[in-house]
Amino acid sequence: MTDKIVLAFSGGLDTSYCVLDLVQKGYEVHTAFIDTGGVDAEGREHIRSRALSLGAAMHHEVDVSQEIWDEFVKPLVWSHARMLGEYPLLCSDRYLIVKSCLDLCDELDTALFAHGCTGMGNDQLRFDQTVHSLGNCKIIAPIRDLQSRVQAVRDHELKVMAEAGIEVEASASRYSINENLLGVTISGSEIDDYQPPAADAWSMTANREDWPGGKLEIRIGFDKGVAVSLDGAQLAGPEILKDLNKRLGAWGVGRHIYSGDVTIGLKGRIAFECPGIDGLLCAHQALEDAVNTRFQNQFRSQVSNRWAELVYTGFFYEPHKKDLEAYLESSQCAVSGEVVLQTEGGTLAAIAVDTPFRIENPDAVYAQSADWTPEEAVGFIKLIGQSTTLAGKVRGR
- Per-residue pLDDT reduced to its tens digit, 39-78: 899 999 999 999 999 999 999 999 999 999 999 999 999 9
As a whole number of angstroms, the distance between CA 231 and CA 383 comes to: 47
Residue 229 predicted with pLDDT over 80: yes
| Cβ–Cβ < 8 Å for 39, 212 | no
Q: What type of residue is 218?
A: I
Mind listing the pLDDT tens digit for each residue in 281-319? 999 999 999 999 999 999 999 999 999 999 999 999 999
What CATH number has the domain bearing residue 190?
3.90.1260.10
* 52-to-10, 169, 179, 194 alpha-carbon distances in Å: 13, 18, 22, 38
Sign for the pseudo-dihedral over CA of 298, 82, 103, 137? negative
Q: Tell whether the model's pLDDT for residue 172 goes beyond 60.
A: no
The per-residue pLDDT for 397 is 66
What local confidence, expressed as pLDDT, does residue 176 receive?
81
Do 50 and 197 fall within a single domain?
A: no
At 334-369, the pLDDT tens digits run 999 999 999 999 999 999 999 999 998 877 776 677
pLDDT tier at 260, thresholds 50, 70, 90: confident
Asked if residue 190 is part of any domain, the answer here is yes
For residue 157, pLDDT beyond 70? yes
Contact assessment for residue 269 and residue 187, using Cβ atoms and an 8 Å cutoff:
yes
CA distance 177 to 12: 9
Say if residue 27 is in the same domain as residue 109. yes
User: Do 31 and 125 share a domain, yes or no?
Assistant: yes
* Domain boundaries, position 208: 182-292+331-354
- Report yes or no on 138 lying in a domain: yes
Domain match, 380 and 248 both: no
201 and 346 belong to one structural domain: yes
pLDDT given for residue 338 in this prediction: 98
Angle at 188 between CA 187 and CA 192, to 5 degrees: 90
In a domain? residue 309 = no
The answer on 49 and 115 residing in a single domain is yes
For 137-287, list the strands marked E by DSSP.
138-140, 176-180, 183-187, 216-223, 226-230, 233-234, 255-261, 267-273
Any domain includes 300:
no
Instruction: Work out the mean pLDDT of the chain and round it to a whole number.
Output: 93
Q: Residue 115: which CATH number?
A: 3.40.50.620
How does residue 257 score in pLDDT terms, banded at 50, 70 and 90? very high
Task: Judge if 101 and 9 occupy the same domain.
Answer: yes
Give the residue, 140 or 158, on which the prediction is more confident: 140
Question: Does residue 250 share a domain with residue 225?
Answer: yes
> Looking at the structure, do residues 30 and 142 belong to the same domain, yes or no?
yes
Structural domain ending residue among the three candidates 119, 143, 174? 174
Predicted local distance difference test score (pLDDT) of residue 152: 83
More confident residue, 161 or 139: 139
Asked whether residue 344 falls in the same domain as residue 214, the answer is: yes
For the segment 176-213, what is each residue's pLDDT rounded down to a tens digit? Answer: 888 999 999 999 899 999 999 999 999 999 999 999 99
d(CA 96, CA 68): 7
Same domain, 166 and 204: no
* Position 301 in a domain: no
Query: How do residues 241-256 score in pLDDT, each as one tens digit?
Result: 999 999 999 999 999 9
Q: Does the residue 169 lie in any domain? A: yes
Using the 3D structure, point to which of 174, 191, 215 is the last residue of a domain. 174
Give the pLDDT confidence of 116-125 residue by residue, as tens digits. 998 877 899 9
Percent of the chain with pLDDT over 70: 97
Distance between CA 383 and CA 71 in Å, rounded?
A: 46
Instruction: Note the pTM of the prediction, 2 decimals.
Output: 0.91
- Percent of the chain with pLDDT strictly greater than 90: 79
Average pLDDT rounded to a whole number, residues 380-387:
93
Work out how many domains the chain is built from and give that number. 3
Same domain, 244 and 100: no
Residue at 260 is within a domain: yes
Query: Per-residue confidence at 1, pLDDT binned at 50, 70, 90?
Result: low
- DSSP class per residue in 249-286: HTTTTTEEEEEEE-TTS-EEEEEEE-HHHHHHHHHHHH
Boundary-marking domain end, from 174, 206, 233:
174
**Mean pLDDT across 127-133:** 97
**Per the domain annotation, does 326 fall within a domain?**
no
